[in-house]
Structure formats: structure tokens, C-alpha cells
Amino acid sequence: MGNNHFLTLFSTETFESFYTVGEKLGEGGFGSVFAGTRISDGLQPYDSRSIPLEVELLQRMSETSVDSVIQLIQWFDEPKRYILILEHPQPCKDLHSLQKKYVGSFSEQMARDLMLQVVRTAIECQKRGIIHRDIKLDNILINMETLKIKLIDFGCGDLIKRFGYDYYEGTFEYCPPEYFLKGRYCAIPATVWSLGVLMFEMVCGFLPFKEEADIIGYHRRCDLHFKDEFCDLVKWCLHPKPTSRPTLQQILEHRWFKSSSPKMIDFKEKKQ
């Protein structure tokens, strides 16, 4: 079971004695997500089938609560599966659905506000020795009233290892080029690369890479209609040499984040 001193296991009761399961909300690489209701008080959390490592990562993130990370409420070890009970923040949408259905792409101001929260969350993960490894629009919830984010789905995550990784978990289009070229990557440079991809996708409305050749052969071009500060930061994060990319703290200190504060946005569905 691994490092179980981080975990709380409820083995004397069954999942069904605590919760009723509702409609299916989504599906990821490691399991499915359902709406659910806690019988005792009507709490509506997420229910997600997962693996023990994800439990450990979420427990680490919960030791001192991080508001921008989904909270683990409870988990169950069953003979053929693990069940995670996660908070279900409302009213929330994932950024991919929001971008696709409502806005197409985010303004630089809105992307700046969102990325500021994402980078700070990645720093909190780093402090706890965790790499999420799948930070993307689909795994970021946004509260439609407060515009505050929640990072979800640690199913591809791992503990940070000094000498990096020789296997890749996560979304292909966010994979750093050093993995294809050398078969190995390190946690923080890979995270920074993924944040560059995320920033690009937020503002441009599409991913910068679709194939391995695109990732390896990227010339770090940026459309001219974007501000110099934005292009500079994206290029820096997407530098082909891992040691030439910024640290997470350097991203926060970049001049792009020193620009004017973002305005609140009213998300209204586009007319068809």
C-alpha cells in the first residue's frame, strides 16, 4: 500500500453505507467521476475511482489546506477498486468547457489572472514534493462567481524525484521535448513547459503542438498581435533546453504579471 502514514483508510464501513451515487460527470485516464450525496448530511462531493498514489498526493496537499486544490474528504479501499470522495465545488466549470462553449479564447487579462493562480498552485505542489504532471484546461475548475480556480485530478501525479523520470504520464500535447530526445525529464522544467503550453492555449484558443515533430522542432514563434511581454514569457517557458527555462518563481516575477489587473468577466453563451 506504500506510505500509508499519509492516508486515512475507512475499512470498517462500506462506501455504500456513506454515499449514494448520481449521474456520471466525466472520465479520465485512471477512472470515472460521478455526482454523489453523503447520506448523513446531503454533502455532494465527487466520487472518483483511483490509485493509492493519488490518495497520498492529495493527503499531502491537504496537510495544510491549499484553497486552489481539490480537497480529499474520504477514501475507500475495496477489493477491485479504490474510491476517492472529493469536494464538489459549485458553481464551477472546467476551463476547457468554458473556453470551448463561451469564449473561444481568453483575453490576455483573463489569462493573466488565471495563470497567476495556476503558477501559485504549482508552487504549492512543489513545496510538498509533488508534480501534478497534467496541468491543463480540463483539470482546472473555475468558480463562475469568484473566478477562483481549483486544480483537480492528481491521477498522473508523482512525488518529485531528484533524477527525474524515464516514463511519461499526462497529456501528450503537453509533453516536454527532452522526453522525446533523451527519454528523461525532470519535474520542474517539465511543469514549466506545460505552463507555457497552457498559457499559449488560453490566449490563442488552440494548442501549439499536435505531433511529436512539432514539439521537438518548435521554433518558439509567437503571433505578432500579442503583447511582447506575453510572447517573451511563452518563449521562455517553451525553451527547448530545460535548464534555460524559468523557475516557477521566475514566472511569477515576469513583467507580464506586472501589467494591469484583469477585469471581471461575465461569461455569456455565444449566439449560434
30 is in an annotated binding site: yes
C-alpha cell at 74: 474520504
Residue 169 assigned ligand-binding role: no
Q: Is 26 annotated as a binding residue?
A: yes
Q: Is 32 annotated as a binding residue?
A: yes
Gap between the Cα atoms of 6 and 15, Å rounded? 20
27 is in an annotated binding site: yes
Q: Tell whether residue 78 is among the known ligand binding residues.
A: no
CA distances from 39 to 15, 16, 21, 44 (A): 11, 9, 10, 10
DSSP count for the chain of H helices, then E strands: 9, 10
Question: 158 an active-site residue?
Answer: no
Q: SS3 for 12-79, per residue?
A: CCCHHHHEEEEEEEEECCCCEEEEEEECCCCCCCEEEEECHHHHHHHHHHHHCCCCCECCEEEEEEEC
Neighbours of 198 (CB within 10 A): 25
**For the range 39-45, what are the long-range contacts, defined as Cβ-Cβ under 8 Å and sequence gap of 24 or more?**
43/73, 44/88, 44/90, 45/19, 45/73, 45/85, 45/86, 45/87, 45/88
Q: Are 128 and 60 in contact (CB under 8 A)?
A: yes
What the block records as the C-alpha cell of 84 is: 476517492
CA dist 113 and 119 (Å) reads 10
From the candidates 47, 67, 77, 134, give the one annotated as an active-site residue.
Answer: 134
Cα–Cα distances (Å) from 44 to 88, 246, 271, in that order, read 6, 40, 32
The response to whether 31 counts as a known ligand-binding position is yes
33 known member of a binding site: yes
Known binding residues for ATP are 25-33, 87, 94
Known binding residues are 25-33, 87, 94
Catalytic residue positions? Answer: 134
